[in-house]
Structure 1
Amino acid sequence: MIVKDLYLEVQGLTTHLLSAGEGERAILLLHGGGVDSARLSWEPILPALAETHCVFAPDLPGYGDSARPDIAYTMAFYIDFVTALLDALNLTQVTVAGVSMGGGIAIGLTLTHPERVNHLIPVDSYGLQRVAPAHRWSYWLVHQDWLNRLTWWIITRHPALAKASLQQIFYDPRKIDAALMNAVWEEVRKPHAGRAFRAFQRHEVLKNGLRTVYLDRLGEIKAPTLFIHGEYDRLVPLECAREAHQRLPGSQLVILPRCGHWPQREDPSGFVRALQAFLSTNV
């Protein structure tokens, strides 16, 4: 299966996407924050999904090979951007899967524009927890901009530290092979790496909790929903997905064993099986 690189102008921003597959059934894959991109999050599963769907995986603004303007990166900004991206792709309705920050965007899109989403798949999703891990420390670090910048500056110059950061989102660090590490290092070394995520965190991490918490609104979602979650996620604990599943009647929850915060990379075959089983029974 050929994976194509596409470039579109969306809201005046050059936007890079990976595209694969054909047909009327479309899937939009949204990556996470930090050091991430469409290729890093989704490349291993694109060929399998493209056998039955037309798949689009964009680099969100501030990431990958898309534009990286110095702007306010907020959840509202990303929801508006993804809506405009669907218009640019002429997609009236789409299945939306998102990991971490991308999952939060996917849920927000579904709540804001329910007519655009026919299936929702949050993966180890942001927006399902009320506080960050070690919230007081996280709040202090996020809002000490000089320290946050310094941390990113150090990481961009020391591959061992970049690998140590990546190990925090894996259950089994042996799954971090040389090819993945090289791809992460390439992303870390791009201009303004981390700027979009730092801005997003400053807006989201409040003194007493997180700004975006969807738990009380999940019952509004009508689209068939599958929560996929790594059993040993350190960033978004499994209990968050369990509560979300309970709050959304009719939803499904698949727990991928021996996986952390990036289950589609740690167990791509298990991830694809769960997603395809869900889509095949919710046509």
Structure 2
Amino acid sequence: MRTPTPDTELLSSEETSRTIRTPGWKLHFHEAGEGEAVLFLHGSGPGATAWSNFHLNITPLARTHRVLMLDQPGWGESDPLEAAAGGHLRAIEEFLDALGIEKVSLIGNSLGGINAIEFAMVHPERVHRIVTMGTADLTMPHLFSPAGFTLGLQEVYRGYVERTPEVYRRLVQVMSFGDRFMDDELIAERFAAAMRHEEHLDAFVARANAPREAPEWTAARVSAIEHETLLIHGRDDQVVPVEASLRLLAMIPNSRALIFNQCGHWAELERADEFNRAVADFLS
């Protein structure tokens, strides 16, 4: 695998693209760099992929680490996820086994952060460090806010059901702060990515109406996580309120928080340079 030299070209999607077969799925991922393994887990929005979430992060971090960015089952070019949400943890375990990786640091945005925390609950011996971005605290009795679904989460779900370019424009708008990502080409690419795999969208809607099968979140169980954890959040996140990371900070003993002002749900993209420096320092 190729590692870029500092201050040169960015790695491309095509040259880092890989596919692997595990007992449960065909999994698509991106890989670059050498050294200690770091696994990026993307969020749950329609049309989301590992590359769309983390394309600004792979090149800097591949200079010092073996970077793996997984299209989780149900997204991107990986197989659909027909079962309940617990299948993500099985997919991560199978993925690591297939690559012969015993221990990994996990970096997860939103749903990816939930999966990272849950994987550490179930397989603590396989996790080195944890980084989350815009991740919810599922010990709360309500989903993501005391009032229930946030505005951002409502737009995420609408994108799975109402599949029009206008809905996806609104989705991008609530995901980020300001107008930086309100680009017609970017929005069209996100919409096209979702439409390429409508089977993923259909399966997500079906899972949303089924009981959630995943580790139970309690304050005691979250507090038992011993891994070094970095909790990153945008203060202006309309999908998962910043208070979620502050609650996780209070529970996870060996944790610290990094809050970006004027930043939404995509901290790894909106504040890419600062994010990359902070994560590289934390992992080292």
Matched residue SS, 1:228: strand
1:193 deviates by 4.0
Question: One-letter code of the match for 2:188?
Answer: N
What TM-score do you get using the length of structure 2 for normalisation? 0.84
Cα distance 1:247–1:12, how it changes in 2: closer, same or farther (>3 A)?
A: closer
Does 2:243 correspond to 1:233? no
Compared CA separation, residues 189 and 245, structure 1 to 2 (3 A)? same
Could you tell me how far apart the structure 1 residues matched to 2:130 and 2:268 are? Answer: 16
Superposed displacement of residue 44, structure 1: 1.2
**Structure with the bigger percentage of helix:** 1
Aligned counterparts, 1:13-92, within 5 A:
13-23=25-35, 25-35=36-46, 36-68=48-80, 71-74=82-85, 76-92=86-102
Partner of 1:260: 264
Output the CA distance in 2 between the equivalents of 1:134 and 1:243.
12
Q: 1:266 to 1:161 in 2, by over 3 A?
A: same
Aligned-pair CA distance for 1:165? 1.4
1:1-283 superposed matches below 5 A: 1=4, 2=11, 3-23=15-35, 25-35=36-46, 36-68=48-80, 71-74=82-85, 76-128=86-138, 130=140, 131-132=142-143, 138=149, 152=160, 154-155=162-163, 158-191=164-197, 192-203=199-210, 213-280=217-284
Task: Note the residue ranges of structure 1 that are not aligned, 5 or more in a row.
Answer: 143-147
Aligned to 1:145: none
- Identical-pair percentage: 28
Q: Where does the alignment leave 5 or more consecutive residues of structure 2 unmatched?
A: 5-10
For the structure 1 residues 15 and 215, does the alpha-carbon distance in structure 2 shift closer, same or farther, using more than 3 Å as the test? same
Distance 1:108 1:165, change over 3 A: same
- Indicate the RMSD between aligned Cα atoms, in angstroms: 2.7
Q: State whether residues 40 and 183 of structure 1, in contact with CA within 8 Å, keep that contact through their aligned partners in structure 2.
A: no
Cα distance, 1:266 vs structure 2: 1.3
Partner amino acid for 1:19? E
- In the alignment of these two chains, the number of paired residues is 265
TM-score for both structures, normalised by structure 1: 0.84
CA distance in 1, matches of 2:216, 2:278: 27
| SS state at 2:107 partner | strand
Would you say the 8 A contact 1:169–1:235 is kept in 2? yes
Residues 88/259 of structure 1: CA separation in 2 closer, same or farther (3 Å cut):
same
Partner SS, residue 116 of structure 2: helix
8 Å contact from structure 2 (residues 223, 252) kept in 1: yes
Q: Which amino acid in structure 2 is aligned with residue 92 of structure 1?
A: E
